[in-house]
Amino acid sequence: MRETAFAKVNLALHVRAREPDGYHRLETIFAFAEDGDLLEVSEPSRPGALELEISGPFGEALRTEALSPAGERGNLVTLAARALQDHYDVKQGARLHLDKRLPIASGIGGGSADAAAALRLLTQWWRLPDDRAVLHRIARGLGADVPACLVSRTMRGEGRGDDLHEVEGASITGTPILLVNPLVQVPTGPVFAAWDRVDRGPLGPELLGRNDLEAPARAVAPVIGEVLEALAGASFARMSGSGATCFGLYTNTVDRDAATARIRALQPGWWTLVSRLK
């Protein structure tokens, strides 16, 4: 059995305030590409065991975690599996294989999408109730982006980003998208810490808005500005999350593919993903 951990993009990310607990109050529009990491499950090598293999172009940094105590703290796939197992007192094991195709610390879901895929996949594998409330509660405990990644469709997020609301009349499904990352990791913490604490106003009913983390992210990684310049021909271009991945939306696949070819020729060391919005 297999699940895709769909790449997440923020069509808007308005930072409204920093709360006393250190978290930031957000208003965001989540959208998802049709592609991402891949997670597979099969029978474990021994009954009841929970095993994890990691491969793929971005798997090396995660490969050593496996199921050691440090790995259990650090790998969200393992944390998601344990949380689901504990909630339902599951005795059955699983062997998970993560094909890591999305860059790490890149603002497009990454570990959150992987954790959400694990919850969806293991719910089927272990034949558990498809209880959305339970899964959402577990997801919230794993991270602010995990609930949105669990749903993996266009949603409005508020609070920490995990207070989700349906987006009425969203008509972006099938929109051609190009994601570009200069292969510079941008940790979330320093970017939020560098936010200037200026409330630039609420997110209205529109799907497309500003990203208030772009300026602090560009201070951390100035190359983000070059990526956005490379996407200048898109109908809409933004940095996603806290960076460094940026994306362009296009009215047709011809323009998107032409932009992809141009960027790959000029910057062969950058990562690109050609997809469509779900």
Residues 35 and 126 in one domain: yes
Total of domains in the chain: 2
What Rg, from alpha-carbon coordinates, does the chain have? 18
Read off the pTM: 0.94
CATH code, domain carrying 270: 3.30.70.890
CB 29 within 8 A of CB 203: yes
At which of 118, 143, 164 does a domain end? Answer: 164
Same domain, 201 and 270: yes
pLDDT tens, 55-111?
A: 999 998 776 544 444 444 458 999 999 999 999 999 999 999 999 999 998 999 989
Q: Are residues 149 and 234 in the same domain?
A: no
Q: CA separation (Å) from 188 to 38, 214, 224?
A: 23, 12, 14
Specify whether 204 is located in the same domain as 255: yes
- The predicted pLDDT at position 170 comes to 66
Rounded mean pLDDT for each run of 10 residues along the chain, 278 residues in total: 98 94 92 98 92 92 55 74 96 96 94 97 97 97 96 96 87 95 92 94 93 96 97 97 97 98 98 97
pLDDT confidence of residue 70: 44
Beta strands 94-99 and 50-55: pairing type?
parallel
Q: Is residue 171 part of a domain?
A: no
Q: Which active-site residues does the annotation give? A: 8, 145
The verdict on 123 and 36 lying in the same domain is yes
14 and 132 share a domain? Answer: yes
Asked if residue 158 and residue 36 are part of one domain, the reply reads: yes
Q: Determine, yes or no, domain membership for 38.
A: yes
Q: Is residue 170 part of a domain?
A: no
Q: What is the CATH number of the domain that holds 28?
A: 3.30.230.10
**162 three-class SS:** coil
Q: How far is CA 82 from CA 52, 88, 91, 117, 220, in A?
A: 12, 10, 11, 14, 35
pLDDT attached to residue 148: 98
Last residue of a domain, one of 164, 188, 207: 164
Length of the chain: 278
Are 150 and 80 contained in the same domain? yes
Sequence-distant (≥ 6) Cβ neighbours of residue 223 within 8 angstroms: 182, 184, 244
Whether 7 is in a domain gets the answer: yes
DSSP 3-state of 266:
helix
Domain that holds residue 214: 176-276
The answer to whether the CB of 105 falls within 8 A of the CB of 181 is: no
pLDDT value of position 214 = 97
pLDDT reported for residue 75: 84
- Domain match, 160 and 180 both: no
- pLDDT digits over 3-18, tens only? 999 999 999 999 999 9
Same domain, residue pair 156 and 198: no
Q: Which of 41, 5, 39 is nearest to 126 (CA)?
A: 41
Written as six digits, the tokens of 123 are: 């719910």
Of 128, 143, 164, which marks where a domain is finished?
164
Domain co-membership, 186 together with 256: yes
Do 193 and 157 have their domain in common? no
- Residue 243: other Cβ atoms inside 10 A: 30
Per-residue exposure over 56-85, b if at least 16 CB sit within 10 Å of its own CB, e if not: bebbeebeebebeeebbeebbbbbbbebbb
- In contact, 76 and 114? CB cutoff 8 Å: yes
Q: Residue 169's pLDDT is what?
A: 67
Residue 110's region, left for phi above 0, alpha for psi from -120 to 50, else beta, is left
Strand intervals (E) in the chain? 2-18, 24-42, 50-55, 94-99, 155-159, 163-166, 176-181, 236-239, 246-249, 271-276
